[in-house]
Amino acid sequence: MSQTLQDKLQAASRDFQKLQSDLSDAVEARQRLDAQLSENELVKKEFADLTPDNEVYKQVGPVLVKQDQAEAKSNVDKRLEFIRGEIKRIEGQLKDTETKIEKKKSEIVDIQTALQQQQSHGSSASTTPAA
């Protein structure tokens, strides 16, 4: 029976490590989105200072291409909306993963406790002298 508890512990540990990896990936994604959000908010601020006769250029590969101001502003607004939506999605993923990690930690502790109890019962039975 202790072998099945050992197997359960190993499986739970693998699951826990996978969840930690998932959490790390989600944190990195959130950080990238924060950087993109800041960059796009800065661009939006710059657009607010433009006058109608200012020209806006968009980089396409190594070339700057003239772009309509209204179109450029609209693109930035859409990008900001998309990034905020992605941040909300990642935040939900982070919370979900953190919940799963807590449950898995509890499961591991329960298995370890059962193993310890099993080992202490097994060792006390083997140390009892025969009559």
Q: Identify the pLDDT of residue 121.
A: 80
| pLDDT at 39 (0 to 100) | 97
Q: What is the pTM of this model?
A: 0.78
Residues whose CB falls within 8 Å of the CB of residue 93, separated by 6 or more in sequence, listed in order: 26
pLDDT for 95: 97
DSSP labels, 2-16: HHHHHHHHHHHHHHH
- Classify residue 83 by burial, with Cβ atoms within 10 Å: 0-12, 13-18, 19+: buried
**Dihedral angle of Cα 124, 129, 130, 131, to the nearest 10 degrees:** -130
41-79 confidence digits (pLDDT tens): 999 999 999 999 999 999 999 999 999 999 999 999 999
Mean pLDDT for the stretch of residues 11-26: 97
